[in-house]
Amino acid sequence: MPRRVSEDRDAEYSDDGRQPDDANAHSFAGHCPIVHAGAVPRVRRLASESDQTSRRPHLADVLLFSAGGVEHALPSLTLLAHRVRVLPPTASALASAPQADANIIDGTSDLPSAKRLCGVLNTIESSVPVLLAITEGGLPAISSDWGIGDVILRTAGPAEVDARIRLLRPQAAVEEPSGTIAIGPLTIDEHSYTARYRGRTLDLTFKEFELLRYLASHPDHVFTRERLLSEVWGYDYFGGTRTVDVHVRRLRAKLGDQESVIGTVRNVGYRLLRGGEASRDEPSATGHADDATAKA
């Protein structure tokens, strides 16, 4: 067998020792795989698909807080592929809103209400940037104390709307401090699990301490009862939100100042007041709730 191969190879050379053209083709084929003509377009097509995927625009999850919907607040948004969910422009909707890449507040028809909504959004723990949609006449009323990431006119085109959504910068997240938390006369030691108010040591249960610690770690931020239940008690807790109300009532009783430390935001939830000023937005939600429901 090796001899036949040698003879065949010798036959490929001419008398002057050069390979003929067809022999060159055979020799090249013996060392490299043959690329069929149909494979070249296939390779190019795959590369083109890859390039298109890399250039595909980022699709954002957008929450629009508007009573009139997308067509009323920002018509060009309907021409884009971003996933948009419309929610009512209320404080309770803001507090219980799902996670998103951007929040858009409709200020095209009721600018004072939009400002109040931006204020509520600033008190809620959230790193989601805010885009305010307004008319040209509302521009002079906008200032930095609104706490928004950017503004956009209702008449903006699709390209501008898309660019502003993509360029929104997330708000700085509130990092939970470690060690000692001091909020006015309230001091919490996370290492020893002790809390002092106006120099007096508070006799707290574990869940009462955890609830107070969580609220104090995010002063002035409003949390819904559902959020507090999941953060302090955990997602696997099967009790209702009444448990949160009972624990808040207990904390207020032990603090001795009722709502001057833990305030209630009507139809939303609770917050720990940074300045310790009284905030009586609504009376205690539970009254004399049964303490049996508050067992951890």
What value does the CA radius of gyration of the chain take, rounded to a whole number of Å?
33
State whether 121 and 204 are in the same domain. no
258 belongs to a structural domain: yes
Q: Is the pLDDT of residue 200 over 80?
A: yes
Looking at 12, 27, 49, the residue that finishes a domain is 49
State whether 188 and 290 are in the same domain. yes
The pLDDT value given to residue 18: 52
111 belongs to a structural domain: yes
Sign of CA dihedral 252, 255, 259, 264: negative
Cβ–Cβ under 8 Å, residues 147 and 119: yes
State whether 146 and 92 are in the same domain. yes
CATH number at residue 248: 1.10.10.10
State whether 127 and 162 are in the same domain. yes
Cβ–Cβ under 8 Å, residues 225 and 244: yes
State whether 27 and 99 are in the same domain. no
Looking at 137, 167, 197, the residue that finishes a domain is 167
CA distance 90 to 113: 9
Total domain count, the chain: 3
pLDDT digits (tens, 9 = 90+) for 207-259: 999 999 999 988 888 889 888 888 888 766 667 778 899 999 999 999 886 56
State whether 160 and 189 are in the same domain. no
The pLDDT value given to residue 83: 92
Range of the domain at 137: 61-167
State whether 100 and 38 are in the same domain. no
Cβ–Cβ under 8 Å, residues 233 and 243: yes
CB atoms within 10 A of CB 6: 10
280 belongs to a structural domain: yes
Looking at 167, 188, 214, the residue that finishes a domain is 167
54 belongs to a structural domain: no
174 belongs to a structural domain: no
Helical residues (DSSP H) of 89-224, grouped into ranges:
91-95, 111-123, 158-167, 206-217
State whether 237 and 277 are in the same domain. yes
pLDDT digits (tens, 9 = 90+) for 127-174: 688 999 999 999 989 988 788 889 999 999 999 999 999 888 665 434
pLDDT band at 94 (very low <50, low <70, confident <90, very high): confident
State whether 268 and 190 are in the same domain. yes
103 belongs to a structural domain: yes
State whether 116 and 162 are in the same domain. yes
Tell whether pTM > 0.75: no
pLDDT digits (tens, 9 = 90+) for 1-12: 444 444 444 444
The pLDDT value given to residue 199: 85
Sign of CA dihedral 125, 129, 134, 139: positive
Distance linking the first and last C-alpha atoms of the chain: 86
pLDDT digits (tens, 9 = 90+) for 65-90: 999 999 999 999 999 999 999 999 98
Q: Is the pLDDT of residue 120 over 60?
A: yes
Mean of per-residue pLDDT scores for the chain = 75
State whether 155 and 194 are in the same domain. no
State whether 140 and 206 are in the same domain. no
The pLDDT value given to residue 103: 92
56 belongs to a structural domain: no
172 belongs to a structural domain: no
